Amino acid sequence: MTEPDTAARQRHAGLVIEITEHNHRYHVLDSPIISDAEYDALMRELRGLEDTYPELRTPDSPTQKVGDVISTDFAPVEHLERLLSLDNAFSAEELDAWAARTERLAGPDAVVGPYLCELKIDGLAVALVYRDGALVRAATRGDGVTGEDITPNIRTIAAAPARLAGSGWPRVLEVRGEVYMPVAAFHELNERQAEAGKPLYVNPRNTAAGSLRQKDPRVTATRSLSLIMHGLAVPGAGAESMPAPDDDAVPDDVPTTQSGWYERLREWGLPVSDVYRVVDTLDEVGEYIGYYAEHRHDPPYEIDGVVIKLDRLEMQRALGATSRAPRWAIAYKYPPEEVTTRLLDIRVNVGRTGRVTPFAVMEPVKVSGSTVDRATLHNADELARKGVLIGDMVVLRKAGDVIPEVVAPVTDLRSGTEHAFEFPTACPECGTTLVRDTGEDGKVSVDWRCPNARSCPAQLRERLFHLASRGALDIEVLGYEAAIALLDCGLVADEGDVFALTAEKLATCPFFVNKQGTLTVNAANLLLNLDEARHRPLWRILVALSIRHIGPTAARALAAAFGSVDAIVAATPEQLVAVDDVGPTIAASLRDWFTVDWHAAIVDKWRAAGVELAQDGWVAPVAAPDDGEPSAAGPLAGVTVVITGTLDGMTRDEAAEAVQRRGGKVTGSVSKKTDFVVAGANPGSKHDRALALGVPVLDEAGLGVLLDRGSAAAGDYAS
């Protein structure tokens, strides 16, 4: 598992603060200061950091909070059918992968096309309910289940008919679409704001959203909002799915395609896009995407991509949806912006395993909607390859949700004042000469490292912070500042001393003492946290030791296979490599780590302090008689599970521990040998791979069936 350096931690903390503030300004104050695209870019960057460094992900992160905040000024209402999100593609390859996935799911003889292409309007999602042809309710998307009642404000939009035209509409109909402010209307509004000496609005999307949430509909009526519909649902027809011909609620001549329904909506007086296109091939889909990539400012509204849907409703129903998105549709997001900015400096960070990483400090610049002033330079070799000089104008790229990177210098703009960065030969924190590792194959690593693992201040800080993270011992009070204080006050020489902390020792450190000279609440809580951490599962202990290459997946496998630290230390290389998810590199790293005397001393200190170094209730693996594969005793013996996404009732770690206590095995990747994939919210690619391989997928209720009733019952549930 890659460890976060100081730059990553600082960027993550800044993003959390920034996004939380934007949420408050948008949902509570109705005065957003960034566009929806900029907000999405911030969220993608935050998710990218947390995917790269899972230990940064905490329950109070904006990525872990589902749905929009519901204002108390607007009544919450439930949608008739759940509004799902769309999965995104950021490249032609990802779009091709989606198309291939739809073909696999549809079956070898099925024809998935044609495809409907439409512009992805950068607006506010809404749902309008018509009963007997009359508009009775309008709501924001909210969390997909519950939105805010904005009916009076929607009624001010001329494009939203108060009564449907024509005839043949269902008795109850819920239509979905996007409210937007035309670009021309936005500029006119800002001209009026400027003339009146009032603050200008940031962008059309957030201005439209704020206009819809005005308490006085008369204000909304002045904002020139418009509306385009892109979907509908009849109660009982299924979330985000057009009604089927045999639905009693709809007429007999119900359309059989998405485009057919668009024309039906148009006949009923509802606004539908006039630039959607139905095509037969993916090449034509690519042409549509390419055209609007070059003409994205031609439409009267802002767009941020193209939505591709399977046009035939029969195929939509056959593919269905995941817990969050339909499988028959995807949003293609246009490529990220590339901008130029001034490279002010190049600095390095030292991580917990000693890796020294260079990063760029730049003049702040907006790229892909977010302001960036830091970017990765990866390593010394990559820095040399790019030939970047301090003072250069550089091309900065932010691709999707990954960390920004410096692509290249703009050499034609050099003035001669630029100068090269000299990669340090000594650790900037402790002065130790840096080294490069050499692998068993004789290749020299691209990474420079500080070998002073025992006393380098940077590595000590990062290891203490890692030890306390949610992915390790979950010591909530031991944050970054507390870790620094423990080191500065000399209370810990290394992580071995953490569990020897007492109230008397903490009382000698100003950080843990209040103005009255008594211990702070945090100090008392730290001691309580340490008592709890003494009894964490074995795999968490292994992660907390900061052994290179030992992340949660390998740690769980080792704990399940050996049951104690002592057994792992005594294991031969052959025994270690025989464990799934433990290869030669991990095995060598383990054995090397435990041969270092001060590492062994850490384990001894923890043992003496009462840390449980053996897995409670562990049962030694036994050989299965049929195939010789090891399987632990228990009701889930021989069952392999992958857990992905966010669960409501427990964390993924808790779910994994529950499976393992019953003898099951939890791995980090999906293969044909996987028995079940448990998919929570936002499951990602592991869910898709499970579907492609035909691996049974369980939701959280299905996990409960697996834990309570075993694999056979879970198999019936999944099918």
Going by the DSSP 8-state scheme, the letter that residue 717 receives in this structure is: H
Residue 363, helix vs strand vs coil: strand
Cβ 577 vs Cβ 587: under 8 Å = yes
The terminus-to-terminus CA distance of the chain in angstroms comes to 34
Mean pLDDT value of segment 425-454: 87
Q: How far apart are CA 601 and CA 605, in angstroms?
A: 6
Residues marked active site are found at 120
CA distance 413 to 393: 7
What is the C-alpha to C-alpha distance for residues 648 and 351, in angstroms, rounded to an integer? 33
- What pLDDT score does 624 carry? 39
Contacts of 243 (CB under 8 A, 6+ apart): 170, 232, 233, 234, 237, 249, 250, 254
Instruction: Specify burial of residue 372 (Cβ count, 10 A radius: 0-12, 13-18, 19+).
Output: buried
Query: Minimum mean pLDDT among 154-158, 334-338, 370-374, 472-476: which range?
Result: 334-338
Higher pLDDT, 158 or 438: 158
Which residues are CB-neighbours of 352 under 8 A, at least 6 positions away?
3, 459, 462, 463, 465, 466, 546
Per residue in 308-360, pLDDT (tens digit) is 999 999 999 999 887 778 899 999 987 555 678 899 999 999 988 899 999 99
Give the per-residue pLDDT at 236: 46
Q: Does the pLDDT of residue 33 top 80, yes or no?
A: no
**β strands within 351-389, DSSP E:** 355-367, 370-376
**Superfamily name and number for 6-65+336-413:** Nucleic acid-binding proteins (2.40.50.140)
Residues 6+ apart with CB under 8 A from 210: 26, 30, 31, 32, 201
CA gap 24, 69 in Å, rounded? 9
Architecture of domain 538-608: Orthogonal Bundle (1.10)
Give kind and range of the element (H or E) at residue 698.
Answer: strand 697-698
Mutual angle of helices 92-106 and 282-294, in 10-degree steps: 150
Best mean pLDDT range from 208-217, 324-333, 617-626: 324-333
Which tokens go with 510?
A: 């100003």
Q: Taking 70 as the threshold, does the pLDDT of residue 244 lie above it?
A: no
Distance CA 693, CA 327 (A): 16
Contact present, 690 and 670 (Cβ < 8 Å)? yes
| SS3 state at 100 | helix
565 pLDDT higher than 90: yes
538-608 matches 457-533 in CATH topology = yes
Q: Region 229-243: what's the mean pLDDT?
A: 62
| DSSP 3-state of 641 | strand
Report the amino acid identity of residue 520. T
Q: How far is CA 2 from CA 10, 55, 242, 549, 634, in A?
A: 16, 10, 44, 8, 33
Give me the chain's average pLDDT, please: 83
Please determine, for residue 601, whether its predicted confidence score (pLDDT) is greater than 90.
Answer: yes
Write out the DSSP string of 1-48.
-PPP-HHHHHHHHHHHHHHHHHHHIIIIIS---S-HHHHHHHHHHHHH
Type and span of the H or E element at 458:
helix 457-467
Amino acid at the residue 645 = G
Helix, strand, coil % (nearest 5) of the chain?
A: 35, 20, 40
pLDDT per residue over 63-118, tens digit each?
Answer: 765 444 444 467 888 888 888 888 888 888 889 999 999 999 988 888 898 999 99
pLDDT tens digits, residue range 461-517?
999 999 998 888 989 888 888 999 999 999 999 999 999 999 999 999 999 998 888
| Residue 643, helix vs strand vs coil | strand
Contact 339, 365 (CB under 8 A): yes
Q: Between these two residues, 661 and 401, which has the higher pLDDT value?
A: 661
Q: What is the pLDDT of residue 401?
A: 46
Distance CA 409, CA 406 (A): 8
| pLDDT score recorded for residue 240 | 44
* Sign of the Cα pseudo-torsion (297, 301, 304, 308, in order): negative
Q: Could you tell me which of 174, 164, 198, 197 has the C-alpha nearest to residue 78?
A: 174
Mean pLDDT of 646-669: 80
CA angle, 501 as apex, 500 and 505 as ends, to 5°? Answer: 130
Pair of tokens at residue 569: 């230390």
Evaluate whether 230 touches 176 at the Cβ level (below 8 Å). yes
Average pLDDT over residues 612-641: 63
CATH superfamily of 457-533: 5' to 3' exonuclease, C-terminal subdomain (1.10.150.20)
Q: Domain ranges in the chain?
A: 6-65+336-413, 76-333, 457-533, 538-608, 622-718
Q: Does 275 have pLDDT greater than 70? A: yes
Q: Phi and psi (nearest 5°) for 436?
A: -115, 140
- Give the Cβ contact number of residue 150 at 10 Å: 24
Q: Kindly report the length of the chain.
A: 719
- The Cβ of residue 635 has, within 10 Å, a number of other Cβ atoms equal to 15
Please give the Cα distance from 335 to 599 (Å, whole number): 47
For every residue of 266-319, DSSP letters joined together read HHTT--B-SS-EEESSHHHHHHHHHHHHHSTTSSSS-EEEEEEEESBHHHHHHH
At 199 the pLDDT is 58
Superfamily name and number for 622-718 = BRCT domain (3.40.50.10190)
User: Right CATH number for 76-333 from 1.10.260.40, 3.40.50.300, 3.20.20.10, 3.30.470.30?
Assistant: 3.30.470.30
Tokens 């069936």 locate to 705
**Does the bond joining 584 to the residue before it have cis omega, within 30 degrees of 0?**
no
Residue of 456, 459, 439, 455 lying closest to 447 (CA atoms): 439
